Structure 1
Amino acid sequence: MSFSNSPGGEALDLLSRIAQKVQEETKVRLHRRNVERVLSAVMVSGDFWKIVDLSDLPVPAASGIVKELISEGLLFIDDKEDILLTQKGYDLIGELGIEPFVDYSCQACEGRGYPFYADKELYRTFVELAKDRPKAIRDYDQGSVTPETTVSRVLFIDSRGDLRGKDIIVMGAEDDLTGLAVALTRKANRVLVIDIDDRLIEFDNRIFKELGIDNAEAVVWDLRKPYGEDMLGQFDVFITDPPETFAAFRAFIGRGIATLRDEGCAGYFGLTLRDSSIFRWKEFQETLIGEYGTVITDIVQDFNHYMNWEYHPETKAAQIAPVRKNPTDIWYRSAWYRIETLPGFKRWNDPISDDVFYLDEEGSTT
């Protein structure tokens, strides 16, 4: 096919057809600009996992687009498993004026706006303690963020007035040791860490005891189960990092909101574009605003940087990728959300019966 005989219409139609075909195959909702973002990413990196990172797409969608672009003769994979443009691909991006991906984010703070080194003592203490953390396991969809991310989370929370003198619950996210980091500041009034993984609970409680942190405790709990009445409306702040199915969203976020005391309380959590599409974000946001009665005050894109997990080769993401090469650099990132309760907000605390808790058509990294 020659793209030079039209002012872009035929080429745009091709990208739209690719988006539609991949959407039908993966059930991930897409549009033409998603394909353009993949092409922009390929212009700066041949590494598939970096392409996923730069294109901000769920892995099934990014993989499907790359495979379809290869089928159309626009991309190819070389013997090093790098994904590259063909001459036909260069002709296409030239006709459409697609430019390489650019990144102007601050390198010192890793794009967060909150440099982890602002509290050197907290950072050094946390890094030393985190060296002995239990390894992330697949059973609970675990994947630890970098120590720099965890410390930056705490600084962000403190900057929003949600740390000092507050009762804080950290739910189902202790593979990042965020609860431990909050407790290490000794600025909160109370810290409760709950997680399904007893290894993490034992780890935190041991450190709390060794360091004499008597206002923090860790307890085993499965968030698919409703809280007892003694947990509802008892905290000023919740922090969590949910899997991104709707069942998990309600279990982690809905139950987090249920623990908050009154209006003006805050919740913090991460949402990715690696396991969710922007269409799902819209539905999550509508739930937060329309059903739960909260407002989104902050979304910091790519705030959370995840270290590669050892079980990656066993995941659906690895199996559907167009290459067999494992990621070697950070590629899985999530946005950091802050929500605040409004007058009349709703506490959600129903049981979860959905068996699809960790994986669905958009999620693939478990």
Structure 2
Amino acid sequence: MRNYIEEIYQNVQLQEGPTAIEQFLVHCYFQPGMPTKELVRKLMLPVPVATAIKKELIRAGALQATNGLACTEDGRAYTENVLGFGGLDRKLFDRLMQDEAAWKIELPELSQELRQILSRRPQANVQLDQAKCTAETSLRRAILCLRNHALVGKKILCVGDDDLVSVSLALLLKRLFPGKEVASGRIEVVDIDERFLQFITGVAKQHALPIRCHRADLRQPLPKKLHRQYDCFFTDPPYTLQGMSLFLSRGISGLQKRKGLPIFLSFAHKSPDFALRMQQQFVQAGVSVREVISHFNEYEGAQMLGGKGQMIVLATTEQTAPIVEHAFTEPLYTGEEARSQRLYRCQKCAHVSKVGAREQVATIEVLKSKGCPRCRHARFALIARRPSNRD
């Protein structure tokens, strides 16, 4: 079957990326007869862009314009069989998409099932900065994925998963496609903690969920077999700047090379200065901020976090690339960071800079992005690592 999305994107090369074409077609599939103006409003596309997409989809034979826009027979087959919407419980899908709180009414059994599963998960390892989110938060992340058009028919990566988001995503898919033997989507997990990998694998087998687990130390590059495969990723990294940058980088290396792919980053609420450094890392990684949802995440017994955390939804661009591509040797977790100070010598002028959580420059990535304070060169050599002597 023809790949309408890629075919049209190659013809038009929209700045919005191929996801805009996909969402345009999917909306026409679910709401046939919708006027172009209404689609423009729903998708928040410029009128010339929407017009170009419409013309190309009609020319390709996926859409027809009679009393509004609707899928042709080929367009419907493509949406169901290639994009993965065949067998969908459309009423449930519509309610979840139209009302972000509808899951509380529509999915009580799923919520209860998830609470029971999460109650049995392994204890959090604070040395790995693990802080288990509540079952409600885990499910809300899955709903957010659905509402961002990143669940049905997609391949999703969880970069670390002590929150069992993989299970929530898979259970939601199963509920959306009752009776379908082959899941409309795939979820994969990469984590260093064998306890959680074994637990998730056991849950997946018990409930016939489309989840695959991979053990990996994210200080090392993501395994090659996981590169450039995924349509989105979730991560709730260590709450240090370098932890965020590392997990973000590993997730990016797993994404397909496409514009507009969503990244779901959970992180603690931080000071304005820390938030600025985070945003500088986003710029360096070439990702844009699509949405920031305060107090989205709730954690069990996480007093240090105030029990709450934010959800940051990012999107890939033409410039998206990992900040950290090689092995990572810096302090990563909160406990490591607080104890360590590193000295870096500029390879051009030999100026020595202090790097650490309690210094003006927190990580080597920040130092590289700013450049040497004397000559602005961006290459440094580590010359010493020692415990921080500040209170």
Q: 2:321 aligned to 346, 354, 360, which one?
A: 346
Once residues 240 and 116 of structure 1 are traced to their aligned partners in structure 2, the CA distance between those partners, rounded to angstroms, is 22
Alignment partner, residue 180 of structure 1:
167
Matches for 1:294-313 after TM superposition, within 5 Å:
294-308=287-301
Matched-pair contact (CA < 8 Å) for 1:114–1:155: no
**Structure 1 residues 115 and 302: alpha-carbon distance in aligned structure 2, compared to 1, 3 A threshold:** farther
Alignment partner, residue 196 of structure 1:
192
CA deviation after TM superposition for structure 1 residue 246, in Å: 2.5
**Structure 1 residues 133 and 116: alpha-carbon distance in aligned structure 2, compared to 1, 3 A threshold:** farther
- Are 1:284 and 2:278 counterparts? yes
Q: 1:234 aligned to 222, 229, 237, which one?
A: 229
Alignment partner, residue 364 of structure 2:
none
Once residues 253 and 293 of structure 1 are traced to their aligned partners in structure 2, the CA distance between those partners, rounded to angstroms, is 11
Deviations 1:207-252 (A, max 9, x none): 1111222x31112211111113222211001000011223211221
**Structure 1 residues 347 and 340: alpha-carbon distance in aligned structure 2, compared to 1, 3 A threshold:** same
CA deviation after TM superposition for structure 1 residue 295, in Å: 0.8
CA deviation after TM superposition for structure 1 residue 164, in Å: 0.7
Matched-pair contact (CA < 8 Å) for 1:247–1:352: no
Q: What secondary structure, in the 3-state scheme, does the structure 2 residue paired with 1:186 have?
A: helix
CA deviation after TM superposition for structure 1 residue 285, in Å: 1.2
- Are 1:249 and 2:244 counterparts? yes
Once residues 218 and 356 of structure 1 are traced to their aligned partners in structure 2, the CA distance between those partners, rounded to angstroms, is 23
Once residues 273 and 319 of structure 2 are traced to their aligned partners in structure 1, the CA distance between those partners, rounded to angstroms, is 27
Matched-pair contact (CA < 8 Å) for 2:238–2:332: no
Partner amino acid, structure 1, of 2:204: F
Q: 1:149 aligned to 137, 149, 152, which one?
A: 137
Unaligned runs of 5+ in 1: 1-111, 318-329
- State the identity %: 24
CA deviation after TM superposition for structure 1 residue 283, in Å: 1.2
Once residues 251 and 185 of structure 1 are traced to their aligned partners in structure 2, the CA distance between those partners, rounded to angstroms, is 29
- Are 1:167 and 2:155 counterparts? yes
Once residues 263 and 237 of structure 1 are traced to their aligned partners in structure 2, the CA distance between those partners, rounded to angstroms, is 11
Deviations 1:281-313 (A, max 9, x none): 11111221x21111110100010011105xx7x
Alignment partner, residue 293 of structure 1:
286
Matches for 1:56-95 after TM superposition, within 5 Å:
none
Q: 2:216 aligned to 209, 212, 221, which one?
A: 221
Once residues 202 and 253 of structure 1 are traced to their aligned partners in structure 2, the CA distance between those partners, rounded to angstroms, is 24
Matched-pair contact (CA < 8 Å) for 2:154–2:186: yes
4+ runs deviating over 6 angstroms: none
CA deviation after TM superposition for structure 1 residue 204, in Å: 0.7
- Are 1:124 and 2:112 counterparts? yes
Q: 1:334 aligned to 309, 312, 335, which one?
A: 309
Once residues 356 and 229 of structure 1 are traced to their aligned partners in structure 2, the CA distance between those partners, rounded to angstroms, is 22
Partner amino acid, structure 2, of 1:286: Q
**Structure 1 residues 222 and 358: alpha-carbon distance in aligned structure 2, compared to 1, 3 A threshold:** farther
Matched-pair contact (CA < 8 Å) for 2:142–2:165: yes
Partner amino acid, structure 2, of 1:283: R
Matched-pair contact (CA < 8 Å) for 1:194–1:219: yes
Once residues 255 and 120 of structure 1 are traced to their aligned partners in structure 2, the CA distance between those partners, rounded to angstroms, is 35
Matched-pair contact (CA < 8 Å) for 2:128–2:333: no
**Structure 1 residues 153 and 114: alpha-carbon distance in aligned structure 2, compared to 1, 3 A threshold:** farther
Matched-pair contact (CA < 8 Å) for 1:114–1:156: no
Tell me the TM-score normalised to structure 2 length.
0.55
Matched-pair contact (CA < 8 Å) for 2:158–2:234: yes
Deviations 1:118-140 (A, max 9, x none): 42232122112122111112221
Matched-pair contact (CA < 8 Å) for 1:264–1:341: yes
**Structure 1 residues 253 and 207: alpha-carbon distance in aligned structure 2, compared to 1, 3 A threshold:** same
Deviations 1:307-333 (A, max 9, x none): 105xx7xxxx6xxxxxxxxxxxx9321
Matched-pair contact (CA < 8 Å) for 1:167–1:237: yes
Partner amino acid, structure 2, of 1:241: D
Once residues 308 and 115 of structure 1 are traced to their aligned partners in structure 2, the CA distance between those partners, rounded to angstroms, is 27
Once residues 340 and 306 of structure 1 are traced to their aligned partners in structure 2, the CA distance between those partners, rounded to angstroms, is 25
Matched-pair contact (CA < 8 Å) for 1:164–1:189: yes
Partner amino acid, structure 2, of 1:132: R
Once residues 121 and 286 of structure 1 are traced to their aligned partners in structure 2, the CA distance between those partners, rounded to angstroms, is 42
Once residues 147 and 328 of structure 2 are traced to their aligned partners in structure 1, the CA distance between those partners, rounded to angstroms, is 34
Tell me the TM-score normalised to structure 1 length.
0.58
Matched-pair contact (CA < 8 Å) for 1:116–1:148: no
CA deviation after TM superposition for structure 1 residue 113, in Å: 5.7
Partner amino acid, structure 1, of 2:311: W
Once residues 233 and 207 of structure 1 are traced to their aligned partners in structure 2, the CA distance between those partners, rounded to angstroms, is 27
Partner amino acid, structure 2, of 1:137: N
Once residues 181 and 281 of structure 1 are traced to their aligned partners in structure 2, the CA distance between those partners, rounded to angstroms, is 29
Once residues 334 and 134 of structure 2 are traced to their aligned partners in structure 1, the CA distance between those partners, rounded to angstroms, is 22
Alignment partner, residue 89 of structure 1:
none
Once residues 171 and 178 of structure 1 are traced to their aligned partners in structure 2, the CA distance between those partners, rounded to angstroms, is 10
**Structure 1 residues 357 and 131: alpha-carbon distance in aligned structure 2, compared to 1, 3 A threshold:** closer
